[in-house]
């Protein structure tokens, strides 16, 4: 017999389901009278909603796996629809949990994350008030950028609800399924490009004026840009490295690591080599040993050699010699002048940064508005430097908030490493995540890392799991292969 608390929970859930059912019936009636297509969409949405609550664990992991396969279908609005759907499902699920007086899992970093996202919303409010460098006509761009950040927050919160239901290493292992479609399409882009639809065709060059030759076709998998595919692979290279150290059967993970490294090089993203070098250095430095040093150096040498083995890679590496980095006869002013015709991507970046800093000086405190760096530049290109992007879009206040947000994440990982048992899976994972994290701000110096949605969506998924208590087994474990039950 149900007690009073159970009765209230059951009554609340019944009332919510009744309300949703009545609303769905009304919407379906109007949709059927207006156009059958909308009725189909409504029925599909209701089916997804029922499945989401009936098999919560499978649904969450399935959505995370699916996301890596739809990024290229921008014309169909699939990425935007997915983001809005995730946000709505998360808020609805949390609402049900609160109405039925069940625990909503959070941690201290999530509250800090929520506060930071809320702070970013101020720039959306400032835009129509005339406080920023742009006016209300750019509100849709600013709102779209804020929703993108809010979705990362919702993904973190949604994954937190799997705590005490699934083992943490089980969640991370399941995420490797999100590699299947991107890797399959990437291999087809290399060897069978004619069989792919236009949305999945290989990318050519980049927006920074890089040379495009017969060797210059760049793979991007199912993602929108080769650089975004590179950072997506970079994250999973780190996770594969972690699995390699944990698994007794090392050969499958070695083969996967080799495949990911091959595809990583095939994106032909020069900044990715710098990130990989920083990752390897940060990974082996805390526990330096001869085997780890040899393994890290061999892996890095193989990747750089593969990159330099193509004509395109040789051109990108040799172009550095004609920049202020390696040529003392070229100062920044001359590099900016040369960028107009030398097809050197680094010199082009110097020119772009100079242009944006000049624009920022006109609105130094709050900048031009969230997601407005392209409009501020006036040439249709992103800054290719996330620190300058934060400075231009949100001014001095925004860049301080941005750096604070990054530093806090690094401090959290250090805290998790300090508190995890030595030699545990959690501690080893956090060490790998810290190495990845150290490489990300370095990559932000010359690339638009902050716009790589796939990287951060999966980063915050793994980051949420890393903060669980790995020493305590799930109190109510649920198999991903069996129907999930709502907790009572």
Q: What is the pLDDT of residues 322-347, one digit of tens each?
A: 777 656 767 677 777 767 766 778 88
pLDDT of residue 213: 37
* Closest listed residue to residue 235, CA positions, set 200, 275, 203: 275
Model pLDDT, residue 484:
39
User: What b/e string do you get for 202-234 counting C-beta neighbours within 10 Å, with b at 16 or more?
Assistant: bbebbbbbbebeeebbbbbbbbbbbbbbbbbbb
pLDDT score recorded for residue 212: 39
Residue pair 455/232 in contact by the 8 Å Cβ criterion? yes
User: Would you state the torsion angle of the CA atoms of residues 351, 357, 358, 363, taken in this order, to the nearest 10 degrees?
Assistant: 160
377 contacts: CB under 8 Å, gap ≥ 6: 352, 355, 356, 359, 383, 392
pLDDT of residue 473: 80
Dihedral sign (CA 219, 240, 59, 100): negative
Q: For residue 488, what pLDDT is reported?
A: 33
Q: How far apart are CA 414 and CA 408, in angstroms?
A: 10
pLDDT for res 198: 87
Which pLDDT score, from 0 to 100, does residue 303 have? 82
Residue 141 near residue 80, CB atoms below 8 Å: no
pLDDT value at residue 291: 72
Q: Tell me how many degrees the CA angle 454-87-403 measures, rounded to the nearest 5.
A: 55
C-alpha 146/C-alpha 155 separation (Å) is: 14
pLDDT recorded at residue 336: 72
Closest alpha carbon to 142 in 398, 442, 352, 444: 398
- The model carries a pTM of 0.87
Query: Rounded CA gap, 417 and 427, in Å?
Result: 5
Domain ranges for the chain, please list them. Answer: 9-104, 109-476
**pLDDT tens per residue, the chain (488 residues)?**
334 444 444 444 554 555 554 454 444 454 445 455 555 666 777 788 888 999 999 999 999 999 999 999 888 888 999 999 999 999 999 999 999 999 999 999 999 999 999 999 999 999 999 999 999 999 999 999 999 999 999 999 999 999 999 999 999 999 999 999 999 999 999 999 999 998 898 865 454 444 333 344 789 999 989 999 999 999 999 999 999 988 888 999 999 999 999 999 999 998 999 999 999 989 887 776 667 677 777 877 888 787 777 777 777 777 777 777 656 767 677 777 767 766 778 889 999 999 999 999 999 999 999 999 999 998 989 999 999 999 999 999 999 999 999 999 999 999 999 999 998 999 999 999 999 999 999 999 999 999 999 999 999 999 999 999 998 787 666 666 543 333 33
How does pLDDT run across 436-471, given as a tens digit for each residue? 999 999 999 999 999 999 999 999 999 999 999 998
């Amino acid at each position: 017999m149900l007690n009073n608390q159970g009765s209230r929970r059951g009554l609340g859930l019944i009332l919510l389901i009744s309300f949703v059912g009545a609303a769905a019936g009304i919407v379906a009636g109007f949709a059927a009278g207006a156009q059958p297509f909308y009725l189909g969409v409504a029925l599909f949405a209701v089916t997804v909603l029922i499945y989401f609550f009936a098999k919560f664990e499978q649904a969450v992991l399935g959505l995370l796996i699916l996301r890596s396969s739809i990024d290229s279908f921008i014309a169909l609005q699939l990425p935007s629809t997915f983001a809005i759907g995730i946000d709505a499902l998360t808020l609805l699920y949390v609402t049900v949990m609160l109405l039925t007086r069940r625990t909503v899992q959070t941690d201290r970093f999530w509250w800090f994350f929520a506060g930071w996202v809320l702070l970013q919303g101020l720039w959306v409010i400032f835009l129509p008030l005339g406080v920023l460098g742009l006016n209300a006509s750019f509100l849709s761009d600013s709102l779209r950028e804020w929703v993108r950040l809010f979705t990362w927050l919702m993904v973190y919160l949604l994954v937190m609800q799997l705590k005490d239901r699934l083992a943490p290493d089980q969640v991370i292992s399941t995420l490797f399924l999100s590699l299947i479609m991107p890797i399959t399409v990437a291999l087809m882009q290399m060897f069978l490009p004619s069989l792919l639809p236009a949305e999945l065709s290989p990318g050519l060059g980049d927006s920074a004026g890089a040379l495009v030759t017969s060797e210059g076709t760049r793979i991007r998998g199912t993602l929108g840009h080769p650089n975004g595919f590179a950072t997506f692979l970079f994250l999973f290279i780190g996770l594969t490295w972690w699995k390699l150290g944990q698994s007794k059967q090392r050969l499958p993970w070695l083969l996967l690591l080799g495949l990911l490294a091959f595809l990583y090089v095939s994106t032909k993203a020069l900044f990715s080599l710098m990130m990989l070098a920083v990752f390897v250095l940060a990974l082996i430095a805390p526990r330096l040993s001869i085997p780890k040093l040899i393994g890290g150096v061999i892996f890095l040498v193989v990747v750089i050699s593969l990159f330099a083995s193509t004509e395109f890679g040789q051109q990108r590496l040799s172009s550095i010699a004609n920049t202020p980095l390696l040529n003392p006869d070229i100062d920044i002013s001359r590099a900016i002048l040369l960028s107009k015709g030398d097809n050197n991507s680094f010199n082009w970046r110097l020119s772009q940064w100079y242009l944006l800093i000049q624009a920022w000086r006109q609105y130094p405190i709050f900048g031009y508005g969230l997601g407005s760096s392209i409009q501020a530049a006036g040439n249709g290109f992103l800054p290719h430097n996330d620190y300058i992007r934060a400075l231009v879009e949100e001014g001095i206040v925004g860049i301080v908030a941005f750096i604070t947000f990054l530093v806090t994440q690094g401090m959290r990982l250090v805290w998790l490493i300090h508190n995890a048992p030595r030699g545990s899976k959690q501690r080893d994972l956090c060490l790998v995540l810290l190495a990845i994290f150290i490489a990300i701000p370095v990559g932000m110096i010359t690339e638009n890392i902050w716009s790589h949605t796939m990287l951060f969506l999966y980063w915050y998924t793994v980051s949420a799991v890393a903060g669980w208590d790995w020493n305590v087994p799930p109190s109510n474990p649920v198999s991903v292969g069996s129907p999930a039950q709502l907790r009572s």
